[in-house]
A and B are shown apart, each in its own frame.
Chain A
Amino acid sequence: MKNDFKTSTGYELVVQWMAKSGNAPFDFQQKSWQAYHQGKSGMVVAPTGFGKTFSIFLAVVIDYLNHPQDYQKGLKLLWVSPLRSLAKDLAKAMSLAINDIGLDWQVSVRNGDTPQKERRAQERLMPDILITTPETIQLLFTQKNNSKWFKNLNCLVVDEWHELLGSKRGVLTELAVGRLLHIQPKLRIWGITATIGNLEEAAEVLMPYPQLKKQLITSKLKKKIDIQPVFPDGVEVLPWAGHLGRSMASKIIPIIQKHRTTLIFTNTRGQAELWYQIILEAAPDLAGLLAIHHGSIDGKLRIWIEDSIASGQLKAVICTSSLDLGVDFKPVDCVIQIGSAKGIARFVQRAGRSGHSPYETSVIYLVPTNTLELLEASALKQAYKDQHLETRAPVVLPYDVLVQYLVTLATGDGFTANDIYFQLKQTHAFKYLTEEDFAWAIQFITQGGSTLKSYEEFHKVAKDDDGFYRVKNKRISMLHRMNVGVIVSDSMLKVKFKSGGYIGMIEEFFISKLKPKTAFILAGRTLELDKVKDMTVYVKSTKAKNAITPSWMGGRLPLSSKLSAYLRLKLSEAAQIQTKDKELQFLNPLWNLQQSQSHIPKNDEFLVEYIQTKDGYHLFMYPFEGRLVHEVMSALMAFRLGKIKPLSFTMAMNDYGFELLSDQPIPLDEIVLKKLLSEDNLMEDVIGSINASEMASRAFRDIAVISGLVIQSAFGQVQTNKSLQSSSGLIFRVLEEHEPQNLLLRQAYEEVFNQQLEEARLREAIQRINNGKVVFKTLQSFTPLSFPIKVDSLRESLSSEQLDKRIRRLQQQNEQWQKV
């Protein structure tokens, strides 16, 4: 059989075509061609830059050349990618190959950017290959008689599946797989993914269908990554976040100059803005060759920047996760990561943005923003060596997506309850959907509320006499189409000069906190707020020195638990005198101080520091579990301490630990600590310590939009739907009061527990601490581990100038104490 395949016409033609440009198929490509040839579905795992696209795309081409009779007119290959920006280049590459090989196939792109005219043309006659997004497939499902487009489909490819898995976009994809397989049972499904920690599960989530023959094809090729930590001139034994900023600029400039094009990654848009200023100040000759790229930069400008990177016109671009993925930029030969990458997979992803072609080495420089971050450099190196990447947990039972999907189907071909329930139960996301919950969803879209009440004028979806559920009202169809998808963007406002001229977009959340005449930074410019009117922020240029850099929501990524584990390991290693790790060696003075003043926790130890200063009584704990978990844990500790003695606390945290500060002594000893860290009544106490309702209300923001309770209006559409404007917070409040049994509310609380409170991870952390040894130290001054947390807490309450003074004073005080 194998030999048969290798002598087949299709195989020979394709290999010849590759040979013309001096290429030979990689082993994993051959394997996927073979598997496809055998009628299998499956998943291809390969690092970026090794021609993952050509694994399945060419498999389909070969199969067509060998068995043209199996292929009908119309859509043959549906290619789903999470990234719109990739589509055009992908289509170009595919068209080129098809022409060279000599097929007359048509390749088209369909997504939010596709012009109306082209869409209508596609609907009349579908191309042979369609490249699209999960959202656009759902939009196709809202069209009348859409099944006819898919009835001759041979293959569905889900590209970059690792990016979709773990999000509600992944669930949209799962639902599309289910429906397409239902329309065309002979369909072959292929996922393409980068390496993640749970590959087997990833394949199962995409294809939980027993009738599919599946194969997991993993490339043995490994991308070489050269990790270069950038060392500061000296070791600050009391490090603080951001402190190294300007001094590190002098180290970054030579790196930029040494390379052709450098991508500089920061974690937040705020940092991106800040570093843009810092680098330009340090190297004014980079003006015009340095650009800034993030989600708030005008779309057109972003495209221009991307084109300029591709054509090599830019020397360096400062960016956020906005450039984590996307088109391969050939000229990029160097990546700089400023601050922590927070996760191993993200780090590898970013590193891979340089040295894109096979066998080329990716170069990544890690620039710490405080000396302690060098510990992370060391942890990342080890983790990459061990190839321990994070897993992505799939989303289960998102009722908001369920509701949206049902309305999508009702807007399109309609559905019957039995059929769709059966289809839903086959997907991974809705495997455990109960009949009651399904009945609720049907009730919700047909009657609006619970079984007891129905709203007389609510007719979103109606059941016809033939048993099919359909949307009858044109306006409802229209509103639904506007809302399809699960990417909920924060309400964004345009930023314009008073005198005219568009600058970019900014979150309403940020602007709502600013008073007129306040200066802020956007797109590398210092602007003064004039007024906000009609979804537009009017500003003028200013030379003000004290401009605020927006801290965009969600800017603070949590540290992944895999990386946390490596951090604890490396810290443990630092406690030993002989380490070969040069990052750890560099930090020696810091370790010495930590060890002599307090203690360096080993892997099975949990360090608690109780420090008395004239500011008050500080309790520091170091779980190394990331900011989110620390936020919950610190509230929990405060709650439990409050039961022992009524105290009020100020709390602060970073990714390594947290602080509780009280103006009165905190009664701490080993017995109290045991109680504080106990696993008993864990979640009850957590609920007692936080405002769950408020957190759920925030989580409800996305749910309300996805389920169609809030109309997400694009610009220009705002006016027409003004009478339907409301906010998710408002609807949350109304539903909590009037319809507490609504499943969407329950989902909001579940999302809080799973994602924000990270219940599982919190429990694991508490167990780990209890299984190990608690080391309790009482001290008179700040330690290298506690200092950065202390500074972070000051930052929130003080302006930057005051902050500098305050920190200097603290450092001096510490020195005096040490001398005593």
Chain B
Amino acid sequence: MAKSISLAEYRVKFAGQTLVLTNLSAMYMPDSKSLVLADIHIGKATHFQKHGIAIPNTVLKNDLNKLETLIHYFNPQKIIVVGDMFHAENNLEIQQFKDWKLQFSAIQFILIKGNHDHYYHSIYKDLNVEVIQNELIAEGITFVHNLEDFKGEGFSISGHLHPGVLVKAKARQRIRLPCFAVGNEHLIMPAFSEFTGLNTRLDSNSFRFLAFTESDFFEF
């Protein structure tokens, strides 16, 4: 089910750079012309289906549409995925992704391995995805999947936690929104796929939460 995508931007200063956060769960780094995202979990719907849980696999189509919009908008040289690009085994959706990716063969795909990415030794090559085991350090920023595994000093960009905020409104209404968690040294990416949950338990003392909807950004 295709829906129109509207892109909202929110600029933040981080590690001496200006980062362009978007409401499509990805962020653009103009200095290095990189698009950064986390936790796409490609193959998740099919993995569930294989186990008898009927999740519609149009989910991946939406995710890829979103990524396509981002690519056309920013025209990045590389795409850095800070972990959990794939969900589980090699399945139909991985093939779907491979076909889709052909149109962007000029873009370098870099994956920092996440906890879900351990099945794929042979197919990363097939997909033309550069795999980095633990962390990637570029321009003073460490890209890592899980902030907890980051033992170094300085700035980091990570994923894994699926940060979100819980907004309480009148009459016991609650709205959950995905967000970027931005601290002085650490930035945590929202999960890219729409088939991912939210974690609203992050420490609000260490992070600003930049939450977004289909059209706008809100700071908490």
Contact = CB atoms under 8 A, between A and B. Distances in A.
B171 A458 contact: no
A456 B56 contact: no
B114 to A, nearest CB: 12
Contacts of A631: 171-172
Interface string A443-455: 0100011000101
A724 B51 contact: yes
A711 interface: yes
A72 interface: no
A639 to B, nearest CB: 10
Contacts of B88: 723
B176 to A, nearest CB: 8
Interface in B171-215: 171-176, 194-197, 200-201
Contacts of A723: 47, 87-88, 116
Contact of B49 (A458, A480, A730): A458
Interface in A409-463: 444, 448-449, 453, 455-460
A738 B1 contact: yes
Given A650-B170, A694-B174, A723-B116, A734 B49 contact: no
Contact of A711 (B53, B57, B175, B176): B53
Interface string A706-739: 0011010000000000011011011101110111
A456 B54 contact: no
A697 to B, nearest CB: 10
A771 to B, nearest CB: 28
Nearest to B55: A734
A216 interface: no
B46 interface: yes
Of B50, B54, B176, B200, the most chain A CB neighbours within 10 A belong to B54
A62 to B, nearest CB: 47
A86 interface: no
A491 interface: no
A458 B88 CA distance: 16
Interface string A461-497: 0000000000001011001100000000000000000
B54 A449 contact: yes
B91 interface: yes
Contacts of A458: 49-50, 52, 54
A460 B91 contact: no
A190 B1 CA distance: 51
B133 interface: no
Of B47, B49, B56, the most chain A CB neighbours within 10 A belong to B56
B195 A455 contact: no
A455 B52 contact: no
A63 B200 CA distance: 62
A345 B6 CA distance: 55
Nearest to A444: B54
A635 B169 CA distance: 13
B56 A457 contact: no
Nearest to B89: A723
A631 B1 CA distance: 36
Interface in B29-65: 46-59, 62
Of B62, B172, B200, the most chain A CB neighbours within 10 A belong to B172
Contacts of A114: none
Nearest to B3: A737
Nearest to A648: B170
A512 B170 contact: no
Given A456-B92, A457-B46, A734 B52 contact: no
Nearest to B175: A694
Contact of A479 (B46, B52, B56, B173): B52
A497 B172 CA distance: 33
B83 to A, nearest CB: 15
B31 to A, nearest CB: 35
Contact of A651 (B47, B48, B52, B170): B170
A479 B51 contact: yes
A638 to B, nearest CB: 8
A709 B116 CA distance: 21
A733 B197 CA distance: 10
A449 B92 CA distance: 17
Contacts of B48: 724, 726
Given A448-B49, A512-B200, A457 B92 contact: yes
A694 B92 contact: no
A407 B54 CA distance: 13
Nearest to B57: A455
B171 to A, nearest CB: 6
Contacts of A578: none
B51 A475 contact: yes
A460 B52 contact: yes
A691 interface: yes
A739 B52 contact: no
B52 A473 contact: yes
B49 A455 contact: yes
Contacts of B173: 691, 694
A731 B55 contact: yes
Nearest to B61: A738
B7 to A, nearest CB: 19
B171 A512 contact: no
A457 B197 contact: no
A455 B46 contact: yes
Given A457-B92, A738-B58, A476 B171 contact: no
Contacts of B59: 734, 738
A529 B58 CA distance: 41
A479 B54 CA distance: 14
Contacts of B1: 737-738
A440 to B, nearest CB: 12
Contacts of B50: 457-459
Nearest to B93: A457
Contacts of A449: 54, 56
A764 B116 CA distance: 54
Contacts of A635: 171
A476 B200 CA distance: 32
Contacts of B49: 448, 455, 457-458
Contacts of A650: 170
Contacts of B194: 733-734, 737
A475 B51 CA distance: 7
Nearest to B173: A691
Contacts of B116: 723
A407 B116 CA distance: 30
B54 A455 contact: yes
B54 A727 contact: no
Nearest to A725: B197
Interface in A637-657: 638, 648-651
B196 A730 contact: yes
A738 B56 contact: yes
A731 B44 CA distance: 12
Interface string B115-128: 01000000000000
A79 to B, nearest CB: 32
B209 to A, nearest CB: 15
Nearest to A726: B197
Contacts of B51: 475-476, 479, 724
A49 B201 CA distance: 49
Nearest to B169: A691
Nearest to A480: B52
Nearest to A448: B54
Nearest to B49: A458
Contacts of A691: 173
A407 B201 CA distance: 36
Contacts of A739: 56
15 contacts: A448-B49, A455-B46, A455-B49, A457-B50, A460-B54, A634-B171, A635-B171, A708-B52, A709-B53, A709-B54, A711-B53, A730-B196, A735-B56, A738-B1, A738-B58
The 6 closest A-B pairs by CB, nearest first: A448-B54, A460-B52, A738-B56, A458-B49, A476-B52, A455-B49
Given A453-B56, A723-B88, 15 more contacts: A444-B54, A457-B49, A458-B54, A690-B171, A708-B53, A709-B53, A709-B54, A724-B47, A724-B51, A729-B176, A734-B56, A734-B195, A738-B56, A738-B59, A739-B56
